[in-house]
Structure 1
Amino acid sequence: MTTAALGVGAPLNGSLPFPADNAWNRDISQAPVDPNSANLISTIGLTRGLHPDFGSGLYEGAPIGIPYVVVSGAQAKATIRFLAYGDESDPGPYPVPGNAPIEGQRPDGASFDGDRHVLVIDRDNNRLYELYRAFPQTGGAWDADSGAVFRLDSNTVRPGGQAGWTSADAAGLPIFPGLVRYDEAATGAIRHALRFTVRQSRRAYLPPATHAASSSTDPNRPPMGMRVRLKASYAIPAQFSTESRAILQAMKTYGMLVADNGSDWYISGAPDPRWNNDKLLSELGSVKGSQFEVVKMEGLVTQ
């Protein structure tokens, strides 16, 4: 990722995490539909519209979405202390700046709760570092519940990880590759799968996910890592904004992966002052769950 800029929300300038044949970047538009697709989609919601969980401005005092920062290979590495899932985390140190943006962080400095994700891309070494429930400490160290390191230049994505491990994400997936980013959407083309959440999941996962986050064994609930695709029959309206059209086309070509428990059909993205919230909400919200289908699931792991 040598062409990426540096800083918070920096553009990647066309650079793509992971090789072209990686699961995140694979064209699945012609893949077969799963036999249980109708039941799985019904569980998520047939009449509920897509919801962009990202945008411009503030919501409840914090930027809308999951922020990230791009650093150089010279970024000093910080000590990371894991408080909850250390046995499933990649050990530090991580090159996390002391002022790295934290999901949910308010500009006024008020305390806040939530997932508190921190995402750091080391541009020069092609590494992605992600933390869940991260808290900066004096002296530059960080406390976090869990963390993961991903290779962005290889299909051996997480050499230190194992099947059954979580990451900074409930599904054991990297978060950053599935984010909707303005710098991509504004070009009219997003060339990777997206990340979304569901309210009810199953105690199972589907590669590239490595972790489940439910006690339910109901086969009609989606497992972590399940991929959905916007149906080919859905015609993307020509009057939609460039950004919304790019997002919806990515859902047709690459699909979306179930990555966490949350609200149904919530699409993850990075905050950016250039997003038009009204257009995102109205245009994406008009696309209902019934317009999606589940790509055939192969390699399902039950826990």
Structure 2
Amino acid sequence: MLLPSEDEWNRDVSSDEVDPRSEAIIASIGADKPLHEDFGLIWKGAPGGIPYYVVKGDQPRVPVTFRYADESDPGPYPIPPDAWIEGGPQAEGDRHVLVLDRDAMKLYELFHAFPVNGGKSWKASSGAIFDLKNPKPRPAGWTSADAAGLPILPGLARYDEICGAGVLRHALRFTVRKSRHGYVSPASHFASPHMEENLPPMGMRVRLKASFDTTPFQGPAKVILEGLKKHGLILADNGGDWYISGAPDDRWVHESLLPIRRVKGRDLEVVKMGELVTR
């Protein structure tokens, strides 16, 4: 685990109450839509998923200029000039850049990032720095490199835990096409103008129902589904409905992940949420 065991990403929610609006919210996303692995394959010529780069504490820091500087943590950031960009160097999407300083256990994340002068500096829409040894939430209303204001890396499915350790000990990040104008803990930010009360707010957590039979599954698909019963999925961004985020890895066998698509929205339930923040 990247974060302390008591962190919200790592919390066991298998015994939490179900939210009163669970069925209506699930229906708004799609009760008949399947879970979808947004990693483990090649997409448009680049590895699918959100890559991350691990550096030592002596990695040189470089300046970063932010479009949304008022909600971004100022640099410099320890970004190597050849750091992996989500979707590849020519990507037109979110272009996340995630860098983990393994010595200080600090996480540096950028959204819509572009290298300048060969990586001597960078420009990005937003950025956030997280102390993984002593994590603190973003200020209320602040984004991060993600719409919900959360760290990205702790919510990714990673090969070494899914296929190596064979156990998922934290919640996974997921997206929906249409979210609500509001957020609930642990999120700190929303990214939607839609006010309908049955839409999912950022920070909402769903889990796989305890009654769902995972015995027909095996390998990484079973590891993921068992983890979703215990830790669930946390809504972190707008994107495809029920798309689960993971990190690229050449060792993924995409066919071994495909069985999770047999899980539909109706097999999930919303964990009881706290106060909704809409400002």
1:105 to 88, 92, 100: 88
TM-score, normalised by the number of residues in structure 2 = 0.97
Q: CA deviation at 1:291?
A: 0.3
Instruction: Count how many residue pairs are aligned between Structure 1 and Structure 2.
Output: 277
- Residue aligning to 1:96: 79
- Aligned-partner residue type, residue 122 of structure 1: D
Where does 1:58-207 land on structure 2 (aligned, <5 Å)?
A: 58-82=42-66, 84-105=67-88, 111-138=90-117, 140-157=120-137, 161-186=138-163, 187-207=165-185
Q: Which residue of 1 aligns with 2:11?
A: 26
Identity, % of aligned pairs? 56
1:208 to 186, 189, 199: 186
User: Which residue is equivalent to 1:224?
Assistant: 202
CA RMSD of aligned residues (A): 1.1
- Unmatched tracts of structure 2, length 5 or more: none
Task: Check the 8 A contact 2:64/2:122 in 1, yes or no.
Answer: yes
Aligned to 1:11: none
Give the 3-state SS of the residue equivalent to 1:204 in structure 2. coil
Instruction: Give the 3-state SS of the residue equivalent to 2:58 in structure 1.
Output: coil
Aligned equivalents of 1:194, 1:93: Cα separation in 2: 29
SS where residue 302 of structure 1 aligns?
Answer: coil
Inter-partner Cα distance in structure 2 for 1:261 and 1:300: 18
1:12 is matched with: none
1:300 corresponds to which residue?
276
Unaligned runs of 5+ in 1: 1-15
Task: Check whether the contact 1:197–1:266 (CA below 8 A) recurs between aligned residues.
Answer: yes
- Relative to the length of structure 1, the TM-score reads 0.89
Q: What secondary structure, in the 3-state scheme, does the structure 1 residue paired with 2:12 have? A: coil
Q: What is the rounded CA distance, in whole Å, between the counterparts of 1:116 and 1:199 in structure 2?
A: 18
Using the alignment, how far apart are the partners of 2:30 and 2:87 within structure 1?
27
Moved over 3 A (4+): none
Q: What's the offset of the Cα at 1:241?
A: 3.1
